[in-house]
């Protein structure tokens, strides 16, 4: 049983938010940074943690845990920022997402991916492309463009 | 070192096309935007050939040709004029002033190179 | 590459069209100015010629018609009339439209045909078919693809150039080489017509040639070689042999013998020719024409002058073009790099001062000086005079006033004032709207003006001048002025001003920029919907500029735009609140004073400070931004002038001046009021750039709502 929209075997970056494992299409990932000082922009929602300096560019950083209704990310030695490039309203936008730790890159073929259930994940189903399996554990594959779409972020101001 | 050709034309796009075509074929190019500019640049600078538009502000092609032919170092270089349509009066004026030959606009790059090769040898 | 040339052509044609328009408008005022007429003609001519070359056939064909008419004007056969100018201006527009079409795309010729019909009507006599065909082949001696004669032919060619052929830049030898390329040739140069040295002019060609050419290419190919010189030279081409005729005698005779046999060549001359390996001087000597000493002397002179001339031509004489086209992205790249440079240099300064090594500090200061100069120069590159924008508006004013039945003149001042290219582009729309407003709502109809004792011709004045590190742009009209009371009433109606407040005139006028605001009784096609002014304000805000409005009822309105000179790097004040750093643009800042806990206590919870007797409100940023941590006992108030009002911003510490390279925060932070960007500090951390104007507005709103 597979999911419409996932037709090829693709590599995914797996990472953890709290104890759960998520996955992101590796093609969307630019780089992975160690956590660095984040400048908070006032009057923005909590999940918009702020901006960082990435080799001269100012890049926004989102706290995915907060976005997904979990408690705020706490800084540990494993915390890192996954820098992704997404499509926001037709423009390529670079931003960072906080993760508690980064795991490994795995390949998952379309047959092993199931559709996300409508309830039980506590996340908006839009966010999840499908459920994959790694080492017998379920992995939620995120549709990163939807997670960071402008509608989602329009809670501002 | 390739031959040095001066291209005088008030149209930047024509100059660009001419320059590119000539350089691609191994020639070096100096550009001028009108007759006066061309004469200034030719003063003390020897070129192997001059390619000039006839219709330019400040000094037109005929004036430029006369100027070059009454000079010294570039007096005998081949001069090819760029004319529009087969305007015979202008062509005759140009020849009388000392032009070596002519090309009619619009021309293709290959035609330009053929004429350049012809007059430069 | 053709792509690039086409792009350049489009840009160039665009510029020519702009120049054309200006010339035409000027021509309206001085119809006899032959210089202007020539300029118009030349612009047309160039657009036509280059157009044809790059495939814009429609443009070439259309422009030709207009050029023909202006050629007649140039020659005095037609005069410049308003109708002609109207048609020509319309032609300009049509060409602009054609320019925007892709090559090969189907174009709408109806407009063009209308214009051409109109132009034809103006011609002095019934038009003889002056339509020259634009399909001229470039028949320039490019090798003809003749019918190749299946068999070879041999030709005898006598080429006797005119004596002055060299003065036309023709090199007879290259013609001969061209002949050689047609097949196999033998060439004989004849020197017998070379006069005595005393009669000899080195600029003349006294030599003539006999060439025997065997080729499969045919007579036309041979004639083509001489295409440029056929009028000035004697060219005889005779067929002497064809391969159809087979000579059964094996080896053919020697060339020289053949010629001698034919009587073309005397044996003596043949000897001469055989010794052609030798140089001209030697030939002369042997021919007894010149003594060897004279030849030596001439050779010495030759070498000497050659040497001198060589030195001269090697001396740096290359003039660079007065100006050079650069793609805009390259400039942006440069500015980015300059920005990086500024940032790194700031770090260098920091580190050097911290280190204390005097040599290092000295070098760092030198780097700072150079970086500043580099920054200024680079930012200057993008500066263009605003004049071209102003001229565009002349056309707008002309057309619009005509449409509305008003008589309006536009004057400009300060056209040479330079601004950043992007700023000029972004100012275009707001200015258009402001001018339209002046014309539509400001300037009255001629009858009304007369009744009011004004001249029937209304004046719209556009001015630009530098002021500090900003540019002031004024749009002034001598029209009806703003109705202060109507605006105040409307503003109260919409809740923008409280009924009991006594705002200053300027503040009242500033209300016209509120969205949807309009006191116009009627909506015209030009304005009145109330949509434009707030767009104008947003445009100006986007440029970090300010708008001020002054008006006297019955006399006119003046709108002043103040725009900072550059967008990319601004001088700012670096401040700290808690452990966060912020940056405030320096231009509006006037002073910094201390704020102690005592002062705070004294003002009883109101955010007001007493500065030398004046009451200055302030915004406690720490509170506003909800920054955690202990409020220090002594804080700083940074006092700025925002749109005429003095406001203070409270911070923990003022760190110092900072050259801020502006980095955008991106779409995500678009709606955050008060933060307009970010910058990277010397130590690599990010500081946020505060927009004091928007901060003030949001605080006002908060306090309003709270009441």
Q: In this complex, which of A39, A57, A154 lies closest to C685 when CB atoms are compared?
A: A39
- The proportion of chain C whose per-residue pLDDT surpasses 90, expressed as a percent, equals 6
Query: Which residues of chain B have a CB within 8 Å of the CB of C168?
Result: 79, 95, 98-100
Minimal-distance CA residue of chain B relative to C205:
B76
Sign of CA dihedral B27, B31, B35, B41: negative
Question: Residue A130, class by beta-carbon neighbours within 10 Å (0-12 exposed, 13-18 middle, 19+ buried)?
Answer: buried
Confidence at residue C261, expressed as pLDDT on a 0 to 100 scale: 55
Question: Residue C484, class by beta-carbon neighbours within 10 Å (0-12 exposed, 13-18 middle, 19+ buried)?
Answer: middle
What are chain B's domains? 4-120 (3.40.50.2300)
Residue C687 and residue A39: Cβ atoms within 8 Å? yes
Confidence at residue C259, expressed as pLDDT on a 0 to 100 scale: 58
Confidence at residue C581, expressed as pLDDT on a 0 to 100 scale: 92
pLDDT, tens digit (0-9, with 9 covering 90-100), for B41-87: 998 889 999 999 988 888 888 999 999 998 888 888 999 999 876 56
Calpha distance C62→C50 (Å, rounded):
13
The tokens for C465 are 């001048």
**Which CATH architecture describes the domain A10-152?**
Beta Barrel (2.40)
Q: What is the CATH number of domain C390-564?
A: 3.30.565.10
Average pLDDT over residues C97-119: 79
Residue C138 pLDDT exceeds 50: no
Task: Report long-range pairs for A28-34 (Cβ below 8 Å, ≥24 apart).
Answer: A28/A84, A28/A85, A28/A86, A28/A144, A28/A145, A29/A82, A29/A83, A29/A84, A30/A83, A30/A84, A30/A85, A30/A94, A31/A83, A32/A80, A32/A81, A32/A82, A32/A83, A32/A102, A33/A80, A33/A81, A33/A83, A33/A96, A34/A80, A34/A81
Q: Say which residues have a Cβ less than 8 Å from residue C246's Cβ, sequence separation at least 6.
A: none
Calpha distance A152→C343 (Å, rounded):
34
Q: In this complex, which of B43, B76, B101 lies closest to C166 when CB atoms are compared?
A: B76
Average pLDDT, chain C: 77
Confidence at residue C566, expressed as pLDDT on a 0 to 100 scale: 63
Query: Which residues of chain C have a CB within 8 Å of the CB of B105?
Result: 49, 52-53, 138
pLDDT, tens digit (0-9, with 9 covering 90-100), for C396-414: 888 888 888 888 888 888 8
Q: Parallel, antiparallel, or unpaired for β C569-577 and B49-53?
A: unpaired
Q: Any idea what DSSP says for residue C332?
A: H
Q: Which of A37-41, C41-45, C330-334, C674-678 reaches the highest mean pLDDT?
A: A37-41
Confidence at residue C137, expressed as pLDDT on a 0 to 100 scale: 31
Q: Parallel, antiparallel, or unpaired for β A128-134 and A57-63?
A: unpaired
| A4-16: b (≥16 Cβ within 10 Å) or e | eebeeebebbbbe
Q: Say which residues have a Cβ less than 8 Å from residue C604's Cβ, sequence separation at least 6.
A: none
| Confidence at C248, pLDDT banded by 50, 70, 90 | very low
User: How many CB atoms are located within 10 Å of the residue C53 CB?
Assistant: 22
- Tell me whether 0.90 is exceeded by the ipTM: no
Q: Are A73 and A62 in contact (CB under 8 A)?
A: no
Confidence at residue C688, expressed as pLDDT on a 0 to 100 scale: 92
Q: In this complex, which of C672, C680, C684 lies closest to A44 when CB atoms are compared?
A: C672
Q: Where are the domains of chain C?
A: 2-122, 153-245+254-301, 328-381, 390-564, 569-706
Q: Say which residues have a Cβ less than 8 Å from residue B45's Cβ, sequence separation at least 6.
A: B30, B73, C313, C317, C318
Q: In this complex, which of A58, A88, A157 lies closest to C665 when CB atoms are compared?
A: A58
Average pLDDT over residues C302-309: 52
Q: Are C48 and C60 in contact (CB under 8 A)?
A: yes
Residue A150 pLDDT exceeds 70: no
pLDDT, tens digit (0-9, with 9 covering 90-100), for C646-697: 899 999 999 988 877 777 777 777 777 788 888 888 777 889 999 887 788 7
**Segment (H or E) for C446:** helix C446-451
Confidence at residue C135, expressed as pLDDT on a 0 to 100 scale: 28
C310 and chain B in contact, CB less than 8 A: no
As a whole number of Å, the CA-based R_g of chain B is 13
Complete DSSP assignment for C169-210:
T--HHHHHHHHHHTEEEEEEEE-TT---GGG--TTS---EEE
**Which CATH architecture describes the domain C153-245+254-301?**
2-Layer Sandwich (3.30)
pLDDT, tens digit (0-9, with 9 covering 90-100), for A44-98: 888 889 999 887 788 999 998 888 888 888 888 889 999 998 887 777 788 999 9
Q: Any idea what DSSP says for residue C441?
A: I
Confidence at residue C175, expressed as pLDDT on a 0 to 100 scale: 87
The tokens for B16 are 């660009």
Confidence at residue C523, expressed as pLDDT on a 0 to 100 scale: 52
Q: Say which residues have a Cβ less than 8 Å from residue C129's Cβ, sequence separation at least 6.
A: none
Sign of CA dihedral B21, B26, B32, B38: negative
Select the residue from A36, A45, A56 to test the C interface by mutation, using most C Cβ atoms within 10 A.
A56
Residue C15 pLDDT exceeds 60: yes
Residue (of B55, B39, B56) closest to B47 by Cα position: B39
Coil, strand or helix at B45:
coil
Is the pair B, A in contact (3+ CB pairs within 8 Å)?
A: no
Q: Where are the domains of chain A?
A: 10-152
Residue C667 and residue A88: Cβ atoms within 8 Å? yes
Residue C672 and residue A43: Cβ atoms within 8 Å? yes
Name the neighbours of A, counting chains with at least 3 Cβ pairs within 8 A: C
pLDDT, tens digit (0-9, with 9 covering 90-100), for C231-243: 888 888 877 666 5
Minimal-distance CA residue of chain C relative to A57:
C663
- The proportion of chain A whose per-residue pLDDT surpasses 70, expressed as a percent, equals 85
Confidence at residue A61, expressed as pLDDT on a 0 to 100 scale: 93
Question: Which comes out higher in pLDDT, residue A60 or C144?
Answer: A60
Confidence at residue C133, expressed as pLDDT on a 0 to 100 scale: 32
Calpha distance A130→A117 (Å, rounded):
9
Coil, strand or helix at A74:
coil
User: How many CB atoms are located within 10 Å of the residue C323 CB?
Assistant: 7
* Structural class in CATH, domain C2-122: mainly alpha
Residue C510 pLDDT exceeds 50: yes
User: How many CB atoms are located within 10 Å of the residue C108 CB?
Assistant: 11
Chain position carrying tokens 């081949």: B78
**CATH 3.40.50.1820 given to domain C569-706:** no
**Helix C358-381 with C328-355: angle, nearest 10 deg:** 160
Chain position carrying tokens 């612009």: C43
Residue C382 pLDDT exceeds 50: yes
Q: Note the helical H segments in C109-184.
A: 110-122, 172-181
Average pLDDT over residues C615-643: 87
Residue B7 pLDDT exceeds 90: yes
Residue A129 pLDDT exceeds 50: yes
The tokens for C675 are 């933060």
Query: Which residues of chain A have a CB within 8 Å of the CB of C665?
Result: 41, 51, 58, 60
Confidence at residue A157, expressed as pLDDT on a 0 to 100 scale: 36
| Confidence at C58, pLDDT banded by 50, 70, 90 | confident
**Segment (H or E) for A10:** strand A10-17
């Amino acid at each position: 049983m597979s999911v419409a929209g996932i037709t090829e075997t693709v590599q995914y970056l797996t990472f953890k938010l709290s104890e759960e494992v998520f996955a992101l299409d590796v093609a969307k990932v630019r780089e992975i940074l160690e956590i660095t000082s984040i400048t908070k922009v006032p009057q923005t929602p909590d999940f918009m943690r702020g901006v960082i300096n990435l080799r001269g560019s100012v890049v926004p950083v989102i706290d995915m845990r907060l976005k997904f209704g979990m408690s705020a990310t706490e800084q540990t030695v494993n915390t890192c920022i996954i820098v992704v490039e997404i499509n926001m309203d037709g423009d390529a936008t670079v931003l960072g997402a906080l993760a508690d730790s980064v795991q490994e890159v795995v390949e998952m073929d379309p047959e092993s991916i199931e559709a996300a259930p409508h309830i039980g994940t506590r996340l908006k189903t839009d966010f999840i492309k499908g459920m994959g399996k790694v080492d017998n554990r379920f992995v939620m594959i995120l549709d990163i463009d939807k997670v960071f779409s402008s509608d989602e972020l329009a809670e501002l101001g | 070192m390739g031959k040095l050709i001066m291209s005088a034309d008030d149209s930047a796009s024509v100059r660009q096309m001419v320059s590119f075509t000539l350089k691609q074929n191994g020639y070096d190019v100096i550009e001028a935007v009108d007759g006066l500019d061309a004469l200034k640049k030719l003063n003390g600078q020897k070129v192997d050939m001059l390619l000039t538009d006839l219709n330019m502000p400040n000094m037109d092609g005929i004036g430029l040709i006369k100027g070059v032919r009454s000079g010294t170092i570039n007096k005998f270089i081949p001069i090819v004029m760029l004319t529009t349509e087969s305007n015979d009066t202008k062509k005759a004026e140009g020849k009388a002033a000392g032009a070596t030959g002519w090309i009619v606009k619009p021309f293709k790059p290959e035609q330009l190179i053929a004429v350049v090769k012809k007059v430069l040898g | 590459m053709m792509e690039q040339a086409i792009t350049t052509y489009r840009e160039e044609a665009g510029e020519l069209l702009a120049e054309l328009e200006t010339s035409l408008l000027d021509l309206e005022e001085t119809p006899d100015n032959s210089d202007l007429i020539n300029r118009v003609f030349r612009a047309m001519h160039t657009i036509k010629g280059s157009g044809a070359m790059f495939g814009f056939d429609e443009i070439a064909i259309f422009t030709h018609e207009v050029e023909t008419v202006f050629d007649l004007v140039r020659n005095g056969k037609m005069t410049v009339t308003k109708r002609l100018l109207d048609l020509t201006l319309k032609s300009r527009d049509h060409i602009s439209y054609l320019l925007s079409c892709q090559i090969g795309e189907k174009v709408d010729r109806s407009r063009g045909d209308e214009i051409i019909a109109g132009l034809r009507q103006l011609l002095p006599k019934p038009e003889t078919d002056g339509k020259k065909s634009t399909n001229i082949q470039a028949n320039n001696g490019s090798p003809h693809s003749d019918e190749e004669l299946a068999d070879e032919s041999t030709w005898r060619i006598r080429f006797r150039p005119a004596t002055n052929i060299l003065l036309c830049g023709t090199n007879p030898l290259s013609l001969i080489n061209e002949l050689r390329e047609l097949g196999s040739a033998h060439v004989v140069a004849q020197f017998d017509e070379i006069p005595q040295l005393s009669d000899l002019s080195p600029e003349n060609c006294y030599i003539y040639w006999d060439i025997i050419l065997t080729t499969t290419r045919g007579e036309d190919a041979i004639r083509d070689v001489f295409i440029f010189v056929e009028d000035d030279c004697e060219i005889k081409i005779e067929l002497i042999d064809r391969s159809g005729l087979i000579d059964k005698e094996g080896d053919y005779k020697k060339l020289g013998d053949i010629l001698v046999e034919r009587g073309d060549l005397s044996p003596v001359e043949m000897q001469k020719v055989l010794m052609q390996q030798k140089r001209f001087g030697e030939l002369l000597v042997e021919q007894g024409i010149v003594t060897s000493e004279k030849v030596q002397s001439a050779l010495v002179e030759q070498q000497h002058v050659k040497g001198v001339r060589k030195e001269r031509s090697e001396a740096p004489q290359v003039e660079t073009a007065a100006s050079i086209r650069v793609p805009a992205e390259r400039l942006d790249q440069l500015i980015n790099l300059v920005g990086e440079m500024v940032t790194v240099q700031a770090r260098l300064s920091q580190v050097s001062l911290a280190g204390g090594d005097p040599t290092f500090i000295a070098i760092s200061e030198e780097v700072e000086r150079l970086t500043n100069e580099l920054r200024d120069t680079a930012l200057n590159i993008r500066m263009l005079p605003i004049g071209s924008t102003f001229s565009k508006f002349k056309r707008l004013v002309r057309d619009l006033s005509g449409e509305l039945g008003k008589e309006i003149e536009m004057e400009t001042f300060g056209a040479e004032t330079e601004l950043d290219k992007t700023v000029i582009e972004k100012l275009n729309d707001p200015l258009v709207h402001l001018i339209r407003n002046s014309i539509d709502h400001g300037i009255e109809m001629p009858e009304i003006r007369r009744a009011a004792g004004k001249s029937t011709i209304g004046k719209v004045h556009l001015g630009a001048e530098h002021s500090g590190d900003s540019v002031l742009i004024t749009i002034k009209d001598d029209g009806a002025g703003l109705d202060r009371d109507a605006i105040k009433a409307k503003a109260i109606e919409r809740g923008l001003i409280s009924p009991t407040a006594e705002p200053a005139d300027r503040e009242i006028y500033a209300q016209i920029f509120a969205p949807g605001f309009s006191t116009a009784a009627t909506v015209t096609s030009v304005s009145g919907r109330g949509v434009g002014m707030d767009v104008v304000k947003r445009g100006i805000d986007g440029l970090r500029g300010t708008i001020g409005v002054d008006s006297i009822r019955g006399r006119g309105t003046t709108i002043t735009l103040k725009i900072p000179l550059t967008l990319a790097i601004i001088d700012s004040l670096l401040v700290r609140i808690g452990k966060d750093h912020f940056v405030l643009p320096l231009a509006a800042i006037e002073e910094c004073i201390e704020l102690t806990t005592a002062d705070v206590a004294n003002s009883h919870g109101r955010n007001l400070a007493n500065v030398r007797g004046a009451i200055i409100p302030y915004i406690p940023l720490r509170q506003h931004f909800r920054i955690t941590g202990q409020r220090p006992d002594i804080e700083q108030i940074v006092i700025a002038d925002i749109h005429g009002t003095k406001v203070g911003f409270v911070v923990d510490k003022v760190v110092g001046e900072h050259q801020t390279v502006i980095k955008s925060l991106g779409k995500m932070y678009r709606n955050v009021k008060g933060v307009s960007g970010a910058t990277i500090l010397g130590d690599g951390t990010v500081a946020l750039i505060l927009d004091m104007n928007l901060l003030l507005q949001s605080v006002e709103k908060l306090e309003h709502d709270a009441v």
